[in-house]
Chains A and B, each alone.
Chain A
Amino acid sequence: MNDIDYNTALKELLFKMADDQYIYGHRTSEWIGIGPIIEEDIAFGSIAQDKVGHSLNIYQMLHQLGEADAEKLVFTRNENEYKCCHLVELPIGEYDFAIMRHFMFEHAEYIRFEMLTESSYHPLANLAKKYKGEIKYHIFHANTWLKLLAEGNEESKGRMQSALNQVYPMAMGIFEESPYEEILRSEHIFKGEAALKSVWMERTEEFLQSVGLQIPNNKDFSEAMGGRKGYHTEYFGPLLKEIKEVFVTEDPSASW
């Protein structure tokens, strides 16, 4: 074990976390203006701002570890350099999908940062303590809506079960393991994806069952995997093009 291994493992973890947050924030912001009720435009607007803000802090941490600055990392990397999971890349879809993805992703985020409060990398541990307090409200929002819709009328119950069937396998991509799990664990940087997944399954299953939804039997998680290695869904290319549209095409030398 040396510093190079420690930093490589740490950076791999930070990149996927920041990319997840940035891309999820990007997608979530697309609800501003078209939500089912005005209050939801506002709620998703706040959540999107938190996510993009969180990602900025982590990109800045990466910059301190020798990577390019946050702007360059977001606006100039290629598709295969992004390490977000497939779940966050998918288009916004309908509100059933949006709430289910929100529920799955936010619970994973919360548990991840809960674990990271004990990280041996202190800057990350400090950030995790701060994030936890904010993500708590995202969870509150996701749980409230999931319960309302899963226990609403026949249509909404059916829709939420279908959304669960669709999102559940995709959510497994969050926990795709990195080549550095062993170092992360032994150096006490992070308890690892497997540990995260097991807590996540316990918590989400309990909640989903309490609102009358059934976890699907689907064991084929192949389409959810690859994001952490830089392989993405067909939706990611156009998304990235959109992010870069002004920054790159109008005048790459300019500051905006």
Chain B
Amino acid sequence: MYGGGFVDEKERQKDPVVQDDPIKLAAFEARIAAGEKVEPGDWMPADYRRQLIRMIEQHAHSEIIGALPEGTWITRAPSFKRKMAIMAKVQDEIGHAQMLYSACETLGKSREQMLNDLLSGKSKYSNVFNYPAITWADVTVIGFLIDAAAIVNQVLNSKGSYGPYCRALERICYEEAFHLKQGQDAFAALALGTPTQKALVQEALNRWWKPIIHFFGPSDKMSVHSEKLMRWKVKMASNDDMRNQFLSTYVPKIQELGLSIPDPNLCYHEESNSWTFSDPDWDEFFRVINGDGPCNKERLAVRWWAEEHGRWVRNAIINPNERYVVPLA
């Protein structure tokens, strides 16, 4: 699972401008254009490092926060099969966070610093996890459609330019493919089940449709130009391109199961291979990302619980003679 790779331009504008050595910069860009991977010890522009840290960190946070809405349903999963699957799935998400924090550490930010920034609200995570999973059907919508959306983004990013992130993503995508199957299976079981089950999943789909449209971030028309990040292969596709790809694959799958999309204005345009839809209220998107969503407080409160109740454990096992070393890959 993961957020949509949203680049917060407001945050980026606060970054100090660093003048990179033009000769080194040209050589760096030539390497990326030639399809080479950048490795931790290599020279890289300050803005490249900063943006990657922000992106990988946000991705890692999305994994541990993303474990929470589904995690609360492990104890209520309605069969052995579902319980085993969701336990394994949520555990995988935590494992993804572990891999991603490690990948991000190669850029010079420690896991502790990243977790502190999550708790203080300085670092973001995917907006989608600030919405509640009210019923079991919500869990199936997350497991199917949010994971599917995340895969679109992650497969693209795994072709990016930073070696450690790409390698982590390749493994993550492999596991996500299984997550998608379990999500689709659980979703389909409801859609093809009793009338009560079908109503339950339709209601959940209605609740999640707006966050799903929000998932890849605002329309390209609204975003500040991210040409440099695309050239550096930090961002691999535009928000609209990813959203179109997702809708083209999954809208038919939802409809095949006899469910309806809760947007009468959703429309595919063959000539441009793109979709239009009702205004999904981008103001809400920005409100939620800035901390005012239905579950922001609750999610961070859980992380605070883990932080406070786990502190004595971490203090007890820390070795005072050990020095922090940035991992190499």
Task: Give the dominant DSSP class at B's interface.
Answer: helix
With both chains docked as a complex, state the minimum distance between the C-beta of B56 and any C-beta of chain A, in angstroms: 15
Complexed CA–CA distance, A95 and B314 (Å): 11
With both chains docked as a complex, state the minimum distance between the C-beta of A134 and any C-beta of chain B, in angstroms: 15
**Which residues of the partner chain B approach A53 to less than 8 Å between Cβ atoms?**
84
Pick the residue among B64, B196, B316 that contacts A250 (CB under 8 A). Answer: B196
With both chains docked as a complex, state the minimum distance between the C-beta of A131 and any C-beta of chain B, in angstroms: 16
Chain B interface, number of residues (Cβ within 8 angstroms):
45
A155 and B136 contacting across the interface, CB-CB below 8 Å: no
**Which residues of the partner chain B approach A139 to less than 8 Å between Cβ atoms?**
none
Whether A74 touches B197, Cβ cut-off 8 Å, given contacts A33-B71, A35-B310, A95-B309, is no
B194 and A251 contacting across the interface, CB-CB below 8 Å: yes
**Which residues of the partner chain B approach A36 to less than 8 Å between Cβ atoms?**
306, 309-311, 313-314
Task: Give the dominant DSSP class at A's interface.
Answer: helix
Complexed CA–CA distance, A251 and B197 (Å): 8
A42 and B309 contacting across the interface, CB-CB below 8 Å: no
**Residues 28 to 65 of chain A near chain B (Cβ within 8 Å):** 29-30, 32-39, 41-42, 45-46, 48-49, 52-53, 56
**Which residues of the partner chain A approach B314 to less than 8 Å between Cβ atoms?**
36-37
**Which residues of the partner chain A approach B88 to less than 8 Å between Cβ atoms?**
45, 49
Chain B 63-84, CB-CB to A under 8 Å as 1, else 0, gives 0100110010011111110111
**Which residues of the partner chain A approach B71 to less than 8 Å between Cβ atoms?**
32-33
**Residues 273 to 320 of chain B near chain A (Cβ within 8 Å):** 302, 305-306, 309-317
Q: Does A206 contact B (CB under 8 A)?
A: no
**Which residues of the partner chain B approach A32 to less than 8 Å between Cβ atoms?**
67, 71, 74, 87, 90-91, 94
With both chains docked as a complex, state the minimum distance between the C-beta of A164 and any C-beta of chain B, in angstroms: 16
B310 and A254 contacting across the interface, CB-CB below 8 Å: no
B91 and A46 contacting across the interface, CB-CB below 8 Å: yes
Complexed CA–CA distance, A213 and B215 (Å): 52
With both chains docked as a complex, state the minimum distance between the C-beta of A120 and any C-beta of chain B, in angstroms: 28
**Which residues of the partner chain A approach B101 to less than 8 Å between Cβ atoms?**
38
**Which residues of the partner chain B approach A94 to less than 8 Å between Cβ atoms?**
309
Complexed CA–CA distance, A148 and B314 (Å): 11
With both chains docked as a complex, state the minimum distance between the C-beta of B84 and any C-beta of chain A, in angstroms: 6
The interface stretch among A82-90, A187-195, A241-249 is A241-249
**Which residues of the partner chain B approach A29 to less than 8 Å between Cβ atoms?**
74-75, 87
For this complex, 5 residue pairs linking A to B, each with C-beta atoms less than 8 Å apart, are: A33-B67, A33-B94, A41-B67, A46-B91, A95-B312
Point out residues on B near A: beta carbons under 8 Å. 64, 67-68, 71, 74-80, 82-84, 87-88, 90-91, 94-95, 97-98, 101, 135-136, 186, 189-190, 193-194, 196-197, 200, 302, 305-306, 309-317
Point out residues on A near B: beta carbons under 8 Å. 26, 29-30, 32-39, 41-42, 45-46, 48-49, 52-53, 56, 70-71, 74-75, 94-95, 148-149, 152-153, 155-156, 159, 239, 242-243, 245-247, 250-251, 253-256
Given contacts A29-B87, A152-B316, 11 further A-B contacts (CB under 8 A): A29-B75, A30-B74, A32-B74, A45-B90, A148-B316, A149-B316, A242-B75, A247-B79, A251-B196, A255-B189, A256-B78
Q: Which 4 A-B pairs have the closest CB atoms?
A: A36-B310, A152-B316, A45-B91, A156-B316
